[in-house]
Amino acid sequence: MGFMLRVRLASFFAGAAAAAASGGYFLYKDYKLASDSMALKVKGVQDSIDTRYKALEKRLAALEGQQSTGAAPDVDTPSD
């Protein structure tokens, strides 16, 4: 009777360890996928902001050039 109890307990703990290991692996894989997705979205937003910032710097330089010369050439405005 004692031998069967030990075998059953060993089988239970082996199954629990296998389930925990596979569950941990799938959670880790899901975490990495979500992390990569968020990093890609942040990179896209950062690139968009950098592009808009450079356009604003260019426009500001053109406006400062107008102010120093006194002329009023057309300055292109963004379509957004």
Query: Where along the chain do its domains lie?
Result: 34-66
Using CA atoms, how far residue 58 sits from 61, 68, 76, in Å, is: 5, 16, 10
pLDDT computed for residue 10 by the predictor: 95
Q: What is the pLDDT along the chain (80 residues), one digit of tens a residue?
A: 688 999 999 999 999 999 999 999 999 999 999 999 999 999 999 999 999 999 999 999 999 888 877 655 566 776 65
pLDDT computed for residue 12 by the predictor: 97
pLDDT computed for residue 42 by the predictor: 97
Return d(Cα 14, Cα 16) in angstroms, integer: 5
Buried b (16+ CB within 10 A) or exposed e, 43-64: eeeeeeeeeeeeeeeeeeeeee
pTM: 0.57
